[in-house]
């Protein structure tokens, strides 16, 4: 493969390379070049590479790859971006859609040109401040986000034997009653702090409602200053109808020489 066209988007500061792979030609097994494309200084730079592929059971399939080239089950902000991207390339012709992910089918709605809401997988596997919302998250309540060493402490928890062998994402959270959260996230696969994390926003919100006295809808402020809204219901035992709403934006389109990517730098 020589030339690869792509679109750069971000969702609440979480940035992605979006690729139309409905013809199935993207070399998904070439993880070193995926990682090189995602690298900030020698590639395009992003916190995730997202493919739109054909699906036998939904409007389309979303495939998500971390910046290290590994594949992840779901990305909340990426799912919001892929809904807008799929509509723009004609993979779906309605503002409402359902698409396939490795974490199950996701329903999405384009509320306007810049705002997308998705239905999230129901939280499960609660263990103290740990929860799975499509992907695993460990929640760490803190008093001051600006003084938190997200990379060092996040890496320590992500690699803890408690979460072996797959590790976990780590969210550092300030809870403010009745319905506000501020968050910084160390993301597995990125292996650093990210600009935002949609699944982390959902994880922090549901833990906040379950254990810290918050009420839905929960407003989640990201490190870049954007706001995500997590809504749903909780009857004291079971969560249902969890949604994530927030902004998306197309930044630019580009064409990349795939074969020229500097894989030796990764």
Task: For 90-122, write each residue's pLDDT tens digit.
Answer: 999 999 999 999 999 999 999 998 999 999 999
The candidate with the shortest Cα–Cα distance to 205, out of 166, 246, 176, 237, is 176
What is the predicted pLDDT for the residue at 264?
Answer: 67
What is the predicted pLDDT for the residue at 219?
Answer: 98
First to last CA, the chain: 20
Question: Does 75 qualify as catalytic in the annotation?
Answer: yes
Same domain, 163 and 211: yes
Across the range 165-185, mean pLDDT stands at: 97
What is the predicted pLDDT for the residue at 17?
Answer: 98
Same domain, 108 and 175: no
> Structural domain tally of the chain?
2
Across the range 31-48, mean pLDDT stands at: 95
Same domain, 134 and 179: yes
What is the predicted pLDDT for the residue at 1?
Answer: 67
Same domain, 105 and 16: yes
What is the predicted pLDDT for the residue at 266?
Answer: 44
Question: Does 197 qualify as catalytic in the annotation?
Answer: yes
What phi and psi, each to the nearest 5 degrees, are found at residue 88? -70, -30
Q: How many CB atoms lie within 10 A of CB 160?
A: 13
Same domain, 26 and 99: yes
- The rounded mean pLDDT for the chain is 95
Q: Which of 9, 19, 44, 75 is catalytic?
A: 75
CATH number of the domain that residue 77 is part of = 3.10.310.10
Same domain, 138 and 237: yes
Owning domain of residue 99: 3-114+249-265
Same domain, 69 and 158: no
Same domain, 212 and 227: yes
pLDDT at 84 over 80: yes
Q: Which of 38, 197, 201, 230 is catalytic?
A: 197
Distance CA 166, CA 126 (A): 17
Same domain, 43 and 133: no
Model confidence pTM above 0.85: yes
Same domain, 110 and 140: no
């Amino acid at each position: 493969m020589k030339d690869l066209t792509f679109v750069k988007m971000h969702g609440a500061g979480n940035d992605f390379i979006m690729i139309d792979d409905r013809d199935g030609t993207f070399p998904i097994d070439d993880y070193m070049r995926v990682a090189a494309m995602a690298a900030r200084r020698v590639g395009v730079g992003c916190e995730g590479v997202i493919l739109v592929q054909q699906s036998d059971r939904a409007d389309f399939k979303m495939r998500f790859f971390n910046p290290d080239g590994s594949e992840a089950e779901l990305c909340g902000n990426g799912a919001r971006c892929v809904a807008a991207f799929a509509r723009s390339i004609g993979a779906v012709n309605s503002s409402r859609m359902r698409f396939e992910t490795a974490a199950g089918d996701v329903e999405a709605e384009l509320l306007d040109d810049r705002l997308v809401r998705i239905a999230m997988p129901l939280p499960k596997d609660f263990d103290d401040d740990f929860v799975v919302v499509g992907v695993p998250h460990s929640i760490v309540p803190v008093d001051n986000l600006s003084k938190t060493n997200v990379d060092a402490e996040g890496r320590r928890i992500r690699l803890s034997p408690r979460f072996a062998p797959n590790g976990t994402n780590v969210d550092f959270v300030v809870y403010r009653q009745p319905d506000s959260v501020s968050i910084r996230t160390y993301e597995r696969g990125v292996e650093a702090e990210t600009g935002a994390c949609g699944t982390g926003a959902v994880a922090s919100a549901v833990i906040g409602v379950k254990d810290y006295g918050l009420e839905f809808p929960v407003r989640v402020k990201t490190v870049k200053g954007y706001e995500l809204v997590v809504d749903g219901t909780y009857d004291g035992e079971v969560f249902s109808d969890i949604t994530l709403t927030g902004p998306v934006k197309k930044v630019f389109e580009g064409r990349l020489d795939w074969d020229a990517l500097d894989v030796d730098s990764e």
